[in-house]
Structure 1
Amino acid sequence: MKIAVVQTASTHDKAANRDAVTRLVAEAARDQPDLVVLPEAMMADFASEGGSVGDLAEPLDGEFVSTLRKSALEHGTAIVAGMFERSCDEARPYNTLLAVGADGELLGAYRKIHLYDAFGYRESDQLTAGDVAPVVVKVAGQKFGLMTCYDLRFPELSRALVDAGAGVLVVPAAWVRGPLKEHHWTTLLTARAIENTCYVAAAAQNGKKYCGLSQVIDPQGIPVVSVGEADGLATADISADRLADVRKRNPSLQNRRYTVTPR
């Protein structure tokens, strides 16, 4: 199967972002992928420090999700993209990943567990954390585990997703630029692939605030395709045989002595 990762920067103009989704999915669809992965916060960019995204949030039947469903159905591809979803706290919505099937139907929603309260930023001031539970969806016979940006720093979540059957970790992100931050991003993506003997498909925002560097990494930690800092997309082939072969030669999941239980 094929996965396309798309790199772009969203704005606070939700209509413009929806237009970008329509255009970018159409561009990615030229390679006939089974799944197109768009970045975190594709519906609207984060607010500045001390600001709020509450007035930007939408329900799961709002305009942004409708755009995803329409594009998925038109091009016959599943889509994963990030949005701000209304919660019981109007000022602090969820940071949600939406997975839509090629038939336009909702496959699942993952509400970000680990909020980015680090490096001088407090995402929890703007957003509500989701329930601690792995979310896995199936596309074209393959299971995909959903995680968002800062989640990458918590290996127990990726292990819980793999334990739930995921052979691919999907990581939309808006990874903030900064000293050593790009190094952290690429290192952690590679580590999650190697330690779980799984594929990792990461689609990141770029521009002045975020580092870009979207990529797909195979179960041996080898980048299959990558995008630099500019806008762009890349398509990779995901092989179930490759996944099985790596796990046979490196049975670290079978050999472990500890197990992860979400709390």
Structure 2
Amino acid sequence: MAKLVVGVGQFPASNDIEENKNYIRQLVSEAAQQGVKLFTLPEAAMCSFASELEVLRQMASEHTPDFIQFMQTLATQYQMHIVVGVLSMSDSDNEQRVQNQLLVINNKGEITTRYNKIHVYDAFKFKESDKVKPADLYEDGSMLGVFNIGEFTFGLINCYDLRFPELARALINRGVNVLSVSANWIPGPYKEMHWDLLLRTRAIENTAYVLASGQTAPKGVGQSMIIDPMGFVLAGCGESVGIQVQELDSERIQSVRELLPCLANRRL
């Protein structure tokens, strides 16, 4: 059986790229001091994705390459796998909207996974699809974000994706036993309750660990957390800038799935 030290970090991303880098540098350094081997950061960690489209396009074209290089350098320096949210230009010259991506950078500084957000946030009177192109879907599931570290298989979820259980189950069907959620969960009526309930539900129904990282105020609710496969919160960040660290245990996943074999008992 295997164990892996993981962490989640949270901070308030803005359009001040250097300030964002300083936050991230501090959080990654703190995580490294606690032995973290995989660190999950929020959605759109390089800038404020609530900005106007022209600002987002400028950020994506002028700052994203340097920001990614910065993250690769940190991953190499601290020998750490990192999940981080960025905005990128579309692959199509005819598409004006940007892409909301989660990147997985391994401990050698290599980008191993790029996941384009499938469910863009067209809810609560916000319309992300005006500025962000949803991911293209493929029958083979190649649009899903899945990666491995030893005996742990991780699946990527980006913010509003969390409200769609079929995405989490599609990841589980590909062998995922840890769900990594990056978000900028915007405050609003019942929103913090939804964040907590949905995260714990995804853990329970899939008997999987959940790592959740969200931006803090003023644009996000914070509340980053690490959740056990039985649905209880192992560690939480609250509302302040900071990190939480926990050790994942593959034997725990196995024992929960033996005790609660809902995946094996499925009939539909």
Distance 1:48 1:103 in 2: 33
Q: Is the 1:39–1:203 Cα contact (8 Å) retained in structure 2?
A: yes
Distance 2:117 2:21 in 1: 21
Q: Bigger shift: 152-161 or 125-134?
A: 125-134
Distance 2:255 2:126 in 1: 41
- Pairing partner for 2:189 from 179, 184, 201: 179
Q: Deviations over 1:138-195 (max 9, x none)?
A: 1243110001000000000000011111110000100000110000000000000000
Q: Is the 1:52–1:126 Cα contact (8 Å) retained in structure 2?
A: no
Quick check: 1:235 aligned with 2:235? no
- Pairing partner for 2:213 from 203, 207, 224: 203
Q: Is the 1:59–1:85 Cα contact (8 Å) retained in structure 2?
A: no
Aligned to 2:204: 194
Q: Deviations over 1:173-219 (max 9, x none)?
A: 00000110000000000000000000000000011221110001010
TM-score (norm 2): 0.92
Deviation at 1:18, TM superposition (A): 2.4
Aligned to 1:78: 81
Deviation at 1:257, TM superposition (A): 1.3
The one-letter code of the counterpart of 2:110 is E
Aligned to 1:5: 8
Distance 2:150 2:12 in 1: 28
Distance 2:22 2:244 in 1: 20
Aligned to 1:30: 33
- Cα 1:11–1:243 shift into 2, 3 Å: same
Distance 2:51 2:63 in 1: 24
Aligned to 1:261: none
Q: Bigger shift: 64-73 or 110-119?
A: 64-73
Q: Is the 2:64–2:86 Cα contact (8 Å) retained in structure 1?
A: no
Q: Bigger shift: 41-50 or 247-256?
A: 41-50
Q: How many residues get paired?
A: 258
Deviation at 1:38, TM superposition (A): 0.6
Aligned to 1:125: 130
Aligned to 2:96: 91
Q: Is the 1:22–1:67 Cα contact (8 Å) retained in structure 2?
A: no
Q: Is the 2:42–2:182 Cα contact (8 Å) retained in structure 1?
A: yes
The one-letter code of the counterpart of 1:186 is D
Q: Bigger shift: 135-144 or 172-181?
A: 135-144
Distance 1:195 1:13 in 2: 39
Q: Bigger shift: 199-208 or 40-49?
A: 40-49
Distance 1:62 1:49 in 2: 20
- Cα 1:59–1:198 shift into 2, 3 Å: farther
Q: Structure 1 stretches of 5 or more lacking a match?
A: 259-263
TM-score (norm 1): 0.94
Distance 1:124 1:156 in 2: 20
Deviation at 1:255, TM superposition (A): 0.8
Q: Is the 1:52–1:92 Cα contact (8 Å) retained in structure 2?
A: no
Distance 1:248 1:64 in 2: 43
Deviation at 1:48, TM superposition (A): 4.0
Distance 1:74 1:50 in 2: 34
Quick check: 1:114 aligned with 2:119? yes
Secondary structure of the residue aligned to 2:263 is helix
The one-letter code of the counterpart of 2:41 is L
